[in-house]
Structure 1
Amino acid sequence: MEAYILVEVDIYDNEVYEEYKKLTPDSLLPYGGEFVIRGLPVQALEGEWKHDRMVLLKFPSREKALEWYNSKNYQEAKKIREKASSANFFIVG
């Protein structure tokens, strides 16, 4: 069963965040991950949207999604992201 990772991001250093964005696509490939949504604009139809960016990733399974998140390549990219932003990650599926 497919799994999705939804990410809400608040960016406070755009230059450093751009470095992170360059690393993420290649980190997804070994796990069959792909971007479904990457960026803006987000328009709230109900409720409120209070974040700078939304990302939705699709994986062939929950196991592959978790393998990606815990992988060495992504964890190295994550360190860069944490210098530039705060984020909430959610897995569904």
Structure 2
Amino acid sequence: MKAYLVLDLSVTDFAGFKRYIAEIPAFIAKHSGQYIVRGVQPTTIEGDWAPERLVIIEFPERDNAEAFLSDPEIQDLFKVRHATTTSRLLLADGCT
């Protein structure tokens, strides 16, 4: 079953965030992920959720997404995201 990472983020230090932008696609590909939505400014239709930027990454299986999240080689890059953005990250399973 496919799995999706949904990232809601506001960039607070774009110069510092550039490293993340440049390097994260290789790690997504390493774990068989692909962008579905990449850093767009979404339009809120209902409710009060108003992300500044939205990213959705699709993985073929939940195991791929979990391996991506726990990959030791990517942890420093996640620290870059944490230091340069305010973000929320969700992992959701797709429909069968």
Identity of matched residues, %: 23
- Which residue of structure 2 lines up, in the alignment, with residue 63 of structure 1? 63
- In 2, distance between residues paired with 1:92 and 1:19? 26
- In 1, distance between residues paired with 2:30 and 2:49? 32
CA RMSD of aligned residues (A): 1.2
Shift of 1:44: 0.8
- Which residue of structure 1 lines up, in the alignment, with residue 9 of structure 2? 9
Q: Is the 8 A contact 1:3 1:65 kept in 2?
A: yes
Aligned residues between the structures: 93
- In 1, distance between residues paired with 2:41 and 2:11? 15
Runs of 4+ in structure 1 deviating by more than 3 angstroms, as ranges, are none
Q: Is the 8 A contact 2:3 2:92 kept in 1?
A: yes
- In 1, distance between residues paired with 2:41 and 2:51? 11
Unaligned runs of 5+ in 2: none
User: TM-score when scaled to structure 2?
Assistant: 0.89
Report matched runs for 1:1-93 at 5 Å. Answer: 1-93=1-93
User: TM-score when scaled to structure 1?
Assistant: 0.92
